Structure 1
Amino acid sequence: MTTLFTRIIDGQIPGRFVWADDVCVVFTTIAPITDGHALVVPREEVVEYTAASDALLGHLAVVARTVGSAQQSEWGAPRAAVLVAGFEVPHLHLHVLPAWDEASLSFRNARSDVPAAELDAAAERLRDALRAAGHGAHVPAALTSPAL
């Protein structure tokens, strides 16, 4: 059965894409814990973290580090946090977000009432930060498309 994330990757459901390569995509979440909160999602439907190959996990980790570095730069955060839970969607994904302290790193802090214009603006800020850091080749031409 096709997952929600595969439907987003395939363009059946809208997404705000900030990164795309042959292995994974990164799009911002509709329920951010902090501004710039993004999801690193493999194109392959892997149910959860421990089911992924070493090669896939390695690639996702490098992309998460790249996105996290851009988030730190853009939002002035002292850290980039990576959270792996995966209970809400049965498709492996890494939450990457700018972080100021451990106490705020809880899904209870996710905001589901953020206006679309603010979500768009945060995604564009992250896209700009990735381009400025030299990763423009992986930033999709359009915010709403995972194609390069």
Structure 2
Amino acid sequence: MASIFSRIVSGEIPSHKIAENEEFLAFLDAFPIAKGHTLVIPKKEVDYIFDLDDDTYTRLFLFAKSIVPALEKTVPCLRIGVSVIGLEVPHAHIHLLPLNSMADADFSKKIKISQEELADLATAIRGNM
């Protein structure tokens, strides 16, 4: 069965896309822990990030890095944090997290944000790319 992220890649499930190329996709987390919480995934379904071949792994992180300046311009923060946990969805992914304190990286606390706010945020981030 395809992961939820593979279903997003195929268009079966809608998402608020930030950036995309033939290999990777970045989109806003539907259940963010911070405003601007972005997920970066390979389109090819691989469960564990360390199972990616070295070239794909490197390109995935470079793709994620390319999004950071636009995210920083759009969401005021001290830093963009990076987290790779890999337990919640069996599809390799990177979390980009706008952070102002260590408490902002608490995955047990979700923020409330409407679909309209997510759409507007995605548009703003894309506009700063």
Q: Which runs of 4+ in 1 moved over 3 A?
A: none
> Does the CA contact (< 8 Å) of 1:41 and 1:92 recur in 2?
yes
- Aligned equivalents of 1:21, 1:115: Cα separation in 2: 27
- Aligned equivalents of 2:28, 2:70: Cα separation in 1: 13
Aligned positions of 1:91-106 closer than 5 A = 91-106=91-106
Aligned positions of 1:66-77 closer than 5 A = 66-77=66-77
> Does the CA contact (< 8 Å) of 1:39 and 1:94 recur in 2?
yes
- What stretches of structure 2 of length at least 5 have no aligned partner? none
| Equivalent residue, structure 2, for 1:46 | 46
- Deviation at 1:108? 1.4
Q: How many residues align?
A: 129
- Deviation at 1:12? 0.5
Aligned positions of 1:81-92 closer than 5 A = 81-92=81-92
TM-score, normalisation: structure 2: 0.93
- Deviation at 1:103? 2.1
TM-score, normalisation: structure 1: 0.82
Q: Any idea what SS the aligned residue of 1:108 has? A: coil
- What stretches of structure 1 of length at least 5 have no aligned partner? 131-148
> Does the CA contact (< 8 Å) of 1:19 and 1:26 recur in 2?
yes
Percent of paired sites with the same residue: 30
